[in-house]
Structure 1
Amino acid sequence: MGGGRNRKSAFGETGSRSECGIQVYLSVKGPASAPDTMTTDLNLTSLLNVTDLHNQTRGCSLTKTGFQFYYLPTVYIMVFITGLVGNSLAIWMFVCHMRPWSSISVYMFNLALADFCYVLSLPFLIFYYFNKTDWIFGDLLCRLQRFIFHVNLYGSILFLTCISVHRYTGVVHPLKSLGRLKKKNAVITSALVWVVVVISMSPILYYSRTGLKRNATTCYDTTTVDELQGYFIYSMTLTVFGFCIPFIIIFCCYGMIVKALIYNDMNNVPLRQKSIHLVIIVLAVFAVSYLPFHVMKNLNMRARLYFQSPDMCDFNNRVYATYQVTRGLASLNSCVDPILYFLAGDTFRRKLSRATKKPSKKGENCLQSKSEETALNSPG
């Protein structure tokens, strides 16, 4: 009876992995008859398979330090405060003081809207990390939290790409762009961006989930071990199409803009300065916020999948800790993006100064009459 039960456990139908090891030990010590020898060989094969699976999934247990518990909530608090103020101010300016909108104003408004939605979700994460990564808000909110982060991340990248293409078309091909840089086209493009991003991020609602770990409920920022292989493929696909290709487009667009400004010997100094400022801030956002996050996220998942031998545990812990740092950096785009609105042209700064210095008359805030064509509507 006992031997039969142990033999069943060794083949993985019932019982735990520890039972498999005990069963093989007893089988090896048993009489060396032909049937028992065959059973021993099968049991040893089963043990090797189970041990290999064990090494792949639980070979290294990640060590969470106090740094990780306090670093992310500290960064999120800073992003929440500055992002809430900056993006609220930007949305208020676009809605109440920037009419009529130019096409680039449409892209910037949607960028501010994506950032604003993300910063509103941060209090849940702040509490989660101060609570020693014990999620108390339920599985649905966990999935929505991770979904909102990725929608903001890739939505911001695509809207920055739209702004870059708009600038490139207006500066490098000013004659060809006549009639193409209309607000209507920008509205349609922005709507398509939202649709593409929401559909592309929908798998996050499946992969992200809660799970019990060390007597605490974890809200996985990636996914569980069982789903890691599929998520890794999905993450690499997002990295290529949601980050690498847009980054190449942005880099090429701004490279051509700088080349055009230098070799055309333009006398429009404000236009040149404005474009150079945009190049610097956009490339800085990618270099500091987006690039490290994508590199370390995929490296961390690869380590969880393939680097699970005991001699790799220290390396895995360093990768995991670095990945946590880049998660904080990735959230910084929500408080850095408002800088774009100030660097994009004189109109935003001028109207912001006018709106804050003079008290608005009754009914004047959101019902402005025709204003002059904004500098943002210029090709540059």
Structure 2
Amino acid sequence: MEAELLIVPTEEYHASEDCETTSRGLYSFYAAVMIIIFLLAIPLNISILHLFIVKLKFWKTNTNNVFLFNLVLADILLLFCLPVKAYNFIHGERRSENDVVCKAMLFMLFLNRGASIAFLTVTSIDRYFNVVHPGRKNLLKALKRSPQISILIWLLLLPLTIPTMLKTFECCNSHKSYNSTENRDDAVVKDVVDSLREVVFFTQILIPFMILLYCTVRIVNRLKRKTVGDKTKLRRAMFLVSSVMVLFSVCFLPCTVARIVLLVARVQEWKELSEDAAAQVFDGLMVLSFIDCLLDPLVYCFCSTKFKNIYLGNYFPCILKKHEHPLENSTSTANTNPKRDNVNTAY
């Protein structure tokens, strides 16, 4: 009994120490970056969401507006996690020590990051069919006419959040070494849940990355061979589709590699300083990944001249008046011959 009483405080202390940051200054910087992203991205995303609902009435269109609306919605929900993470970082905690808060944050991150990546991927697949196979009938083209497809995507993502709700785990850490006095069955269950959580994390990023890479290569090759149409628009289309690939790679691939390194450090039980350094790098790259919520609207929504003019006309009319082509002219021009060039409909 006395030996067991001596072990318990040690385990509690280890769990507490594992949640604490060893570099308060570095994590304060991370918190400041997240606050800046939050302050810049929230008004931008909310204004676009308002535009989709009030002005564009996205549910009545047969374009990408339904997918883009859900992409922006997922980004907004993900952004609301940033103040909580910033609060923890400022107070020297890598994760919340409160089990409920910790799991709620993981649920929000898994669901909304997954939704953001899913709608980003679906939008790219739709562009792929519009540019590479413009005349071919496909299931996605039929389904996107109904908002129910977006509801289905959200529902399919819910099972991926189950690993975040299972079993109590110390400070949201995966594959930590467990005390020898712990029940063996409990340790096995923790390993299974941790593995499921990591599979979801990597699946949400790596599979969409491969799909985006394939779509990007095929679209760019198709646009390069295209001889009909405005060369300026073709170059802009190639730039935009390439920028989506670069954006995804910069935001998500570095934190994926850092996560692999951190898991190796934990499983192989590296020295404490090495594991702590790996954790700090991973946390920093996860903060970098949140910039995706700020750049998504710029890449997907403002790539359309018509949408940009509508946005400026509603929120910044004084800026629009300085342009040579007013909103009415751009709108009428866009509607004169909408099927003239597949690049226009896709971008």
The answer to whether the superposition gives a TM-score over 0.5 is: yes
The one of 152, 159, 168 aligned to 2:128: 168
Provide the C-alpha distance between the structure 2 equivalents of 1:322 and 1:167, rounded to a whole number of angstroms. Answer: 35
Q: Over residues 36-78 of structure 1, what are the superposed CA-to-partner deviations in whole Å (9 max), with x where a residue is unaligned?
A: xxxxxxxxxxxxxxxxxx9xx99x9786112333122112101
- The aligned runs of 1:1-380 (5 Å cut-off) are 14=4, 16=6, 64-99=22-57, 100-133=60-93, 138-177=98-137, 181-182=141-142, 184-185=144-145, 187-206=147-166, 219-220=171-172, 226=178, 229-269=191-231, 271-308=233-270, 312-358=271-317, 378-380=345-347
Is contact 1:167–1:379 with CA below 8 Å preserved after alignment?
Answer: yes
**Distance in 1 of aligned mates of 2:7 and 2:138:** 69
SS at structure 1 position matched to 2:141: coil
- Contact 1:69–1:129, Cα closer than 8 Å, also in 2: yes
Tell which deviates more after alignment, 338-347 or 91-100. 338-347
How far residue 294 of structure 1 moved from its aligned partner, in angstroms, is 1.5
Give, in whole Å, the separation in 1 of the partners of 2:168 and 2:288.
Answer: 21
Partners of 1:136 and 1:107 in 2: CA distance? 33
- CA deviations 1:229-254 (Å, max 9, x no partner) are 33442244224532212111111101
CA contact (8 A) 1:147 1:201 kept: yes
Any idea what SS the aligned residue of 1:307 has?
A: coil
1:159–1:17 CA distance, 2 compared to 1 (3 A):
same
Please say if residues 118 and 208 of structure 2, whose CA atoms lie closer than 8 Å, have aligned partners that are also in contact.
yes
Q: Which amino acid letter does the alignment assign opposite residue 188 of structure 1?
A: Q
Residues 53-105 of structure 1: CA deviation (Å, up to 9, x unaligned): x9xx99x9786112333122112101211110111111011112223434311
Q: Take 2:130 and 2:222, find their aligned partners in 1: how far apart are those partners?
A: 11
Closer/same/farther in 2, CA of residues 182 and 269 from structure 1, 3 Å limit: farther
Between the aligned partners of 1:334 and 1:80, the Cα distance in structure 2 is 9
Between the aligned partners of 2:344 and 2:149, the Cα distance in structure 1 is: 17
Higher relative contact order (CA closer than 8 Å, sequence separation 6+)? 1
Matched letter for residue 80 of structure 2: L
Distance (Å, rounded) in 1 between the aligned partners of 2:51 and 2:239: 21
TM-score using structure 1 length: 0.70
Once the two structures are superposed, residues 325-377 of structure 1 have per-residue CA deviations (whole angstroms, 9 ceiling, x without a partner) of 11111211111111123444222101112213559xxxxxxxxxxx9579998
1:285 CA displacement = 2.2
**Change over 3 Å in CA distance of 1:297–1:157 after alignment to 2:** same
Q: Provide the C-alpha distance between the structure 1 equivalents of 2:227 and 2:67, rounded to a whole number of angstroms.
A: 29
Report if aligned partners of 1:151, 1:197 keep a CA contact under 8 Å in 2.
yes
Unaligned ranges ≥5, structure 2: 179-186, 319-333
For structure 1, which runs of at least 5 residues remain unmatched after alignment? Answer: 19-53, 212-218, 360-370
1:43 corresponds to:
none
One-letter identity of the residue aligned with 2:274 = F
1:111-165: CA deviations, max 9, x gaps?
A: 1101111222322222222222298895323321221112222211111110110
Q: Identity of paired residues, percent?
A: 20
Report the secondary structure of 2:228's partner residue.
Answer: coil
Contact 1:146 1:208 in 2 (8 A): no
Shift of 1:194: 0.8
Query: Whole-Å Cα distance in 2 between the matches of residues 330 and 357 of structure 1?
Result: 29
Change (3 A) 1:304 1:291: same
Check 1:270–1:114 CA distance in 2 against 1; reply closer, same or farther (3 A cut): farther
Deviation string 1:306-329 (CA, Å, 9 cap, x unpaired) is 233xxx333222212211111111
User: Is 2:21–2:27's contact at 8 Å kept on the other side of the alignment?
Assistant: no
Inter-partner Cα distance in structure 2 for 1:225 and 1:196: 33
Secondary structure in structure 2 of the residue aligned to 1:181: helix
Pair 190,329 (structure 1): closer, same or farther in 2 beyond 3 Å? same
After superposition, the Cα gap between the structure-2 partners of 1:358 and 1:320, relative to the gap in structure 1 and judged at 3 Å, is closer
Shift of 1:270: 5.3
In 2, the alpha carbon distance for the partners of 1:283 and 1:306 equals 33
CA distance in 1, matches of 2:272, 2:45: 41
- After superposition, what is the alpha-carbon deviation per residue over 1:246-297, rounded to whole angstroms, capped at 9, x for unaligned? 1111111011001001112232335424432332332222222111112212
